[in-house]
Structure 1
Amino acid sequence: MAAQAPQDTTGTDQKVFGGVDSHTDTLHVAVISDNGGQLADAEFTTTPAGYAAALAFLDAHGSVRAIGVEGTSSYGAGFTRAARLRGHQVIEVNRPDKAERRRIGKSDPIDAYAAARAALSGRASSVPKDDTVTGIRALHNAARSAVKARTAALNQIGSILVSAPEAIRAKYGPLKSTDRADALARLRPAGDALHAAVLTALKTLARRVKELTAEHEALTKALDTAVTAGNPGLRAAHGIGPDTAAQLLITAGGNPERMRTEASFAALCEAAPVPASSGRTNRHRLSRGGDRAANAALYRIALVRMGSDPRTREYTARQTAAGRTKKEIIRLLKRAIAREVFRCLTTTVHVPEIADLRPLRLSKNITLTAAARHLGVWPTRISDIERGTRRLDDLAHAYRDWLQTA
C-alpha cells in the first residue's frame, strides 16, 4: 500500500503519536498529530530492515511521544524490541471492540490509526511485557501441546477398542489408561489381517503415548526449573505447581510493575467483581475481559487448597455454613489467591533454604518417621519440605531447629 504524503514538518518540533497494526509478514504504521489529526500511514515488512524503515518513517514526522502497538507479544514483538532499543515509548494496545469495528469497518490503516489514537487518548496505557518470560512461555506451550497430543492418542486407543475384535477388546478394554498403554506398547501384532492391523495401530498409538508422557515430564522439569529461578516465592506458595506458576507469570509478564494495583491483576485474571446492577437489582459479577488461562490457573489452585490446605478448608467450612454454594466459595478464593499471587509477583518473597535439611538428617541417622513423630506431623510432610514440593515455612523452621539440636 502506498504511503500517504507526509506533511512538511521541517524546522518544527511537532509532537506525534504512532500506531502499528502487526501481522505475520507486514506491519502497517500510522502517524497522527498530538491533536488527533491523521498525518500519514505506510506498510513495512517484519524484518530488521523493515523495523528500521518504520521507525525512520515515524521520526520523519516529528517528535514521537508514544507508539501504540497491537500484538506486542506476538506479531508485533520484533517491532516492539526495535522501538524500545531506539528509546521510544511503546504502549500495548488491545484490538478495537466489535461495536467500533461494526461502526467504522476494519482495515490495516484503520486499525493502525486506532492504535495511535489509543496511545494519544490514554485509553491504552499498559507497558508491553518484557522478554524475561519468553522461555517460560515456550516451555509452557510445548508442555501443554504434549498433553493435548497424549490425550488425543489415548482417545484414539479407546475409540479403536470400541470396535475391535472381541478378543482384543476383552483383553485390553478393562485396563486403565497407563496400564493399557504399557501393555499395548509391548505386544507383537499377530493373527489374521484384521487382528494384525488393529494391533499394529494400537501398538503405534501406545508407543506415542509413552513418548509423549516422557516428553511432558522432561518439559515440566525444565519448566519447574525456569519458574523457580524466575520467581521462587510464587513457585513455593501452597498449591502452585510448575504449570499454574508458569501461566501466571506469562499473564503478568516479567515486568509486573506494568500492573499498578492488585485489583488490576485480579481483573486481568477475570477474578475481579464488576457492577452488574440495574433498577431494583443490585449485584456484582466477575469480569470476563481478562485472560481465561490465568483464571483457569486460579481455579486449579483453589481446588488444590480446598482439598489440602487447613486454612482454606476452615474457610470453606465457614462459608458453607453461611449458606454459600461451592461455586460462590471458589469465586471468593480466586479473588484472595489473585491478591496473594500479586504480592509474590511484585515483591521479593524470601523462601527458606531447604537443600541442607535432608543431608543434615541423614548425617545424624534420623529417619523421616522419627522426625515426623517428634514434630507431630505425617512423614510425607517432612518429605515435602525436604524436596521443596510444598512450602510450610513454620514447620521448616521448627524442623531445622530440631535437627541442629538433635
Structure 2
Amino acid sequence: MTGTEAADTRDQVVVGGVDSHADTIHVAVVTDRGGHLADAQFPTNAAGYAAAIAFLQAHGTIAAVGVEGTSSYGSGFTHAARQADLAVVEVNRPDKAERRRIGKSDPIDAYAAARAVVSGRATSAPKDGAIVGIRALQTAARSAIKARTATLNQITHLLITAPDAIRAKYTALSGDKRVTTLARLRPASDPAHAPLLTALRALAKRVQNLTEEHTTLTRELDELVTILNPGLRAAYGVGPDTAAQLLITAGANPARLRTEASFAALCGAAPVPASSGKTNRHRLSRGGDRAANAALYRIALVRMARCRRTREFVARQTRAGRTKKEIIRLLKRAIAREVFRLLTTPVQVPEIADLRPARQKKNITLTAAANRFGVWPAVISNIERGLRRDDAFADAYRQWLTAA
C-alpha cells in the first residue's frame, strides 16, 4: 500500500459490524454508504478483541460498531470496544424474511450488522454494566423459588401415596407449619416407614434452605435496584423483582429509551393499529419483552387490589362497559408511561426513617395509628420499616404525627 493509499484509508469513515458467538466473533467493515470493505474472524478473548479493534481501525475512522448480542456472546467485545472509545450500537438479528432471501453465514451476519447501523435501523446503545449484577441476582432468586415450588410439589405427591396414618397426620397441616413439622421428623422412631419419613424430612429441609436463600437474594436485589433507581422502587406496587425486570428491559440506560411510546412498545403494552378500509381499530400487541409485560401486569394487579385511585378507575371503566381484560390493558399502558418517566428522570424519594421515632416520642401505639387511618397495624409497621412504599400515605401519616 502506498503512502497516498494509506492516507486515504485513514481519512475515510467506516462502520463495523460484529456477529458474536461463544468461541469466535466475525468482524466486517463497510463504508459510510454501506459498501463492503473487508471481514475477518477473531477468537473471543482479550487478544482477539484487541486484534479485532486494530482490524477495524486499519480501514479508517470508525463512526460506530454494530454488535449482535451486546449482553450475551458479544459482551466481551462490547466492553473492549468501549474501553477503546468506540461507539457501540446494539443490533438485533436480521429478520427471517431477509435471512430467507440472502441466506445466513458469519460474514453475511456481520455485514448485515454494519449495514443496520449505516441505515439507521439500529440506534440503541448497549445496556449499562450495572444490569449484569441485577440480572445475576434475579436469575438466582427466581431459580431458588422455582426449585422451592418443585420441592413443595414433591412433598405433596409423596403424601398423596403415603400410608393412611402419615397422610392424615400431615395433609391436615398446610404452608410453613407442614414444612416445619416435616423438617423435625425422626425417622428412627417409626422403622416401618423410615425411608418415607427420611425423604419427607430431607425435602422439608430443602424447602427451608431454598426459602432462606431466596429471602437473602431478594434482599440484596432490593438494595441494588433501590440504589440504581430509588424512584422506580418507591412506585406503588413495584417490588424488588418487578423493579429489577423493568431495569433489565430498559438496560438502566436512559439513552436507550427514545420516547414513552417506544418504551410501551418494548414492553408489549402499546396497541397495534389493525385498520383496513372502513375498519378503524387497534389490537393487543403480542410482541416486545414478555417479561416486562408480565411485570406491568403484576403492578396492575397490585394496584387494582390496594390502590384507591386505581379501584375508582376500575369502577368507572366497568360502568362504561369495559371488561376486566380491557381495563388491565389500559392500566398497563398507563403504568408503562409512569415507569418511563421514572426510568428517564431522576426522582428524589422522601425518607421514612423519621416516622417510627416520631410515633414513639408521642407514645402512640401502632394500633392507635392504624385505627386513625382505617388500616391494619401491619401496614403502618411496614411503612415505618421501609418494607412497603406509599409516599402519599407516608406524607399524611407524618402530618398527623406532627399535629398529634
TM > 0.5 fold call? yes
- Contact 1:233–1:344 under 8 Å retained in 2: yes
Cα offset, 1:173, TM superposition: 3.1
Aligned partner of 2:128 in structure 1 is 130
**1:291-321 Cα distance to aligned partner (Å, 9 max, x none):** 1110000000000000000000010011111
TM-score, normalisation: structure 2: 0.93
Cα offset, 1:177, TM superposition: 3.9
- From the superposition, tell whether residues 174 and 60 of structure 1 become closer, same or farther in structure 2 (CA, over 3 Å): same
| Alpha-carbon distance in structure 1 between the residues aligned to 2:297 and 2:119 | 35
| Alpha-carbon distance in structure 1 between the residues aligned to 2:175 and 2:26 | 50
**1:263-301 Cα distance to aligned partner (Å, 9 max, x none):** 111111110111122344322123333111100000000
- Contact 1:271–1:287 under 8 Å retained in 2: yes
Alignment of 1:10 onto 2:6: yes
Which residue of 328, 338, 341 maps to 1:340? 338
**1:313-367 Cα distance to aligned partner (Å, 9 max, x none):** 0100111111111111100000000111111111122222111210122122221
Amino acid at match of 1:161: L
Alignment of 1:57 onto 2:55: yes
Aligned partner of 2:114 in structure 1 is 116
Aligned partner of 2:27 in structure 1 is 29
Aligned partner of 2:146 in structure 1 is 148
| Alpha-carbon distance in structure 2 between the residues aligned to 1:148 and 1:267 | 29
Amino acid at match of 1:209: V
| Alpha-carbon distance in structure 1 between the residues aligned to 2:298 and 2:136 | 21
Aligned partner of 2:251 in structure 1 is 253
Cα offset, 1:198, TM superposition: 2.4
| Alpha-carbon distance in structure 2 between the residues aligned to 1:88 and 1:286 | 39
For structure 2, the residue ranges without an aligned partner over 5 or more in a row are: none
Aligned partner of 2:71 in structure 1 is 73
- From the superposition, tell whether residues 275 and 269 of structure 1 become closer, same or farther in structure 2 (CA, over 3 Å): same
- Contact 1:154–1:177 under 8 Å retained in 2: no
Amino acid at match of 1:296: A
Identity of aligned residues (%): 72
- 1:5-404 alignment to 2 at 5 Å? 10-12=6-8, 13-190=11-188, 195-374=193-372, 378-404=376-402
Alpha-carbon RMSD = 2.1
Cα offset, 1:376, TM superposition: 5.9
| Alpha-carbon distance in structure 1 between the residues aligned to 2:144 and 2:240 | 15
Aligned pair count reads 400
Amino acid at match of 1:11: A
Amino acid at match of 1:256: P
Amino acid at match of 2:182: L
| Alpha-carbon distance in structure 1 between the residues aligned to 2:159 and 2:400 | 56
Cα offset, 1:191, TM superposition: 7.8
The farther-off stretch of 302-311 and 136-145 is 136-145
Amino acid at match of 2:223: T
| Alpha-carbon distance in structure 1 between the residues aligned to 2:375 and 2:394 | 12
**1:93-118 Cα distance to aligned partner (Å, 9 max, x none):** 11111222222222222211111111
Cα offset, 1:378, TM superposition: 4.9
- From the superposition, tell whether residues 269 and 194 of structure 1 become closer, same or farther in structure 2 (CA, over 3 Å): farther
Q: Secondary structure at the match of 1:87?
A: coil
